[in-house]
């Protein structure tokens, strides 16, 4: 097993929510001598310095300043990804008590493939806001880590049509079972007890929370030769991991930056999302002069990294026959004439050239002309900053399922190309 895949599995297992993903990325950046800059403070940024900042605890920007000269001369090599994944979130007043079962009502976050959420050993994690003993408002993260919730399927005997077109009513079919009790549960009390085990503060009362459910099955290498990686949240923690690994290890003498935004799965329109001003505000602080900043954009490039749909052998007709990426056959350039992806021939050709230098094969994806195309933070960031952009990603199966699948070789290959990109003299 490669060291990198072992490390990636640890990253995925820790990153159960966008909050935990950002915490894990911050830990890794701290270890690599990146300095945290609070958005609320004034910043002092030095040549050759390594920095990061966060917003909402769920989005992060990390960057390396050029060793010589200024950013408007060197430009920035940027990689973008997203920290969020479709999931189920606990409602604000979630407690349901029926037939002595304690249940929680859940909300669907993003485009969840719902069927695979049944019969899984689920746990819960997220951010909690509480009052401490002196009445101060504080925030902390919790992760129960143990299996403690489940959505059992209805037996086929009670639904003979289940294998035909099984539809799921998100309001009535998804409340999770937490356990049994004579009395109605108080979910805030459950959270309070958990928070006490995870945080040193004195905790008086839970006021609010953002808690999601996740699968406790650990990420795994699988396949006859361990050629696949299976896990939850591969879309898009894989790209966060690859971008972070490349930024930390790249021989970057010029400016390099990684942005990982929350809320991509729900349209990116939020204070911490790609359609919000986080990245542009960071860049305004690095280069306050407007004319210099525009010059910097003109010398910069963004690679938006988000997974692509591999061609599924059982459903081959869902792809254009000439544009069906194969898992483990290399990263995929995503192209859409209608700008659902931001790639153009200039950015795509640079990527092809870099990949060739490190002997990485490249594939291309175009959606079938009779089907609608997905999108990424690529076009949003390109439009927001006016910077040339490329959309790429590793091919995967089962996107937005609770268990997704990608190829081990592709992950190593794309990281190599991103490292080379971060080290470029000019783009």
What does the binding site for Zn ion look like in residue numbers (CB under 5 A)? Answer: 235-236, 306
List of residues 6+ apart from 419 with CB closer than 8 A: 245, 246, 249, 250
| Cβ distance to Zn ion smaller for residue 143 or 235 | 235
Tell the smallest beta-carbon distance from residue 112 to Zn ion (Å).
13
Tell the smallest beta-carbon distance from residue 304 to Zn ion (Å).
10
Contact assessment for residue 85 and residue 232, using Cβ atoms and an 8 Å cutoff? yes
Which tokens belong to 119?
């019969």
| Cβ distance to Zn ion smaller for residue 72 or 264 | 264
Tell the smallest beta-carbon distance from residue 335 to Zn ion (Å).
17
Tell the smallest beta-carbon distance from residue 391 to Zn ion (Å).
11
Tell the smallest beta-carbon distance from residue 147 to Zn ion (Å).
26
Contact assessment for residue 48 and residue 65, using Cβ atoms and an 8 Å cutoff? yes
Distance CA 303, CA 314 (A): 31
| Cβ distance to Zn ion smaller for residue 252 or 270 | 270
| Cβ distance to Zn ion smaller for residue 175 or 219 | 219
Q: Report DSSP state, residue 262.
A: S
Contact assessment for residue 320 and residue 371, using Cβ atoms and an 8 Å cutoff? no
Tell the smallest beta-carbon distance from residue 114 to Zn ion (Å).
17
| Cβ distance to Zn ion smaller for residue 58 or 236 | 236
Segments of 147-300 assigned E as strands:
176-180, 203-215, 220-222, 228-231, 255-261
Contact assessment for residue 104 and residue 176, using Cβ atoms and an 8 Å cutoff? yes
Kindly report whether the peptide bond that precedes residue 236 is cis, defined as omega within 30 degrees of 0.
Answer: yes
Distance CA 390, CA 339 (A): 11
Residue listed under structure tokens 């930056």:
257
| Cβ distance to Zn ion smaller for residue 20 or 309 | 309
């Amino acid at each position: 097993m490669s060291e990198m895949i072992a490390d990636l599995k640890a990253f995925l297992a820790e990153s159960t929510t966008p909050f935990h993903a950002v915490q894990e990325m911050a830990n890794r950046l701290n270890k690599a001598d990146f300095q945290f800059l609070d958005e609320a403070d004034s910043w002092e940024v030095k040549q050759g310095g390594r920095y990061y900042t966060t917003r909402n605890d769920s989005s992060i920007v990390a960057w390396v300043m050029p060793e010589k000269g200024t950013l408007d001369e060197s430009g920035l090599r940027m990689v973008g990804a997203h920290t969020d994944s479709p999931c189920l979130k606990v409602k604000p007043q979630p407690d349901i008590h029926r037939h002595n079962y304690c249940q929680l009502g859940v909300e669907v976050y993003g485009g969840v493939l719902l069927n695979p959420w049944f019969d899984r050993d689920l746990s819960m994690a997220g951010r909690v806001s509480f009052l401490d003993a002196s009445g101060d408002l504080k925030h902390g993260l919790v992760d129960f880590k143990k299996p403690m919730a489940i959505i059992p399927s209805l037996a086929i005997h009670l639904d003979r049509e289940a294998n035909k077109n099984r539809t799921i009513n998100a309001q009535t079919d998804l409340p999770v079972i937490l356990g049994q009790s004579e009395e109605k549960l108080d979910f805030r009390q459950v959270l309070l007890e958990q928070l006490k085990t995870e945080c040193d503060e004195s905790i008086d009362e839970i006021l609010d929370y953002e808690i999601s459910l996740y699968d406790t099955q650990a990420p795994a290498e699988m396949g006859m030769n361990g050629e696949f990686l299976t896990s939850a949240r591969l879309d898009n923690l894989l790209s966060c991991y690859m971008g972070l690994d490349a930024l930390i290890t790249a021989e970057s003498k010029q400016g390099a930056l990684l942005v990982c935004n929350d809320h991509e799965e729900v349209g990116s329109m939020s204070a911490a999302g790609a359609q919000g001003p986080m990245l542009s505000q960071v860049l305004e602080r690095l280069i306050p002069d407007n004319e210099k900043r525009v010059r910097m954009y003109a010398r910069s490039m963004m690679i938006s990294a988000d997974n692509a749909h591999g061609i599924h052998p059982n459903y081959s007709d869902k792809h254009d026959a000439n544009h069906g990426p194969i898992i483990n056959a290399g990263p995929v350039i995503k192209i859409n004439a209608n700008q659902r992806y931001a790639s153009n021939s200039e950015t795509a050709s640079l990527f092809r050239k870099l990949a060739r230098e490190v002997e990485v094969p490249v594939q291309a994806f175009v959606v079938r002309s009779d089907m609608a195309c997905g999108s990424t933070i690529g076009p949003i960031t390109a439009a927001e900053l006016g910077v040339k952009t490329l959309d790429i990603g590793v091919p995967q199966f089962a996107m937005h399922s609770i268990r997704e699948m990608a190829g081990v070789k592709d992950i190593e290959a794309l990281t190599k190309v991103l490292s080379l990109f971060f080290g470029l003299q000019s783009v």
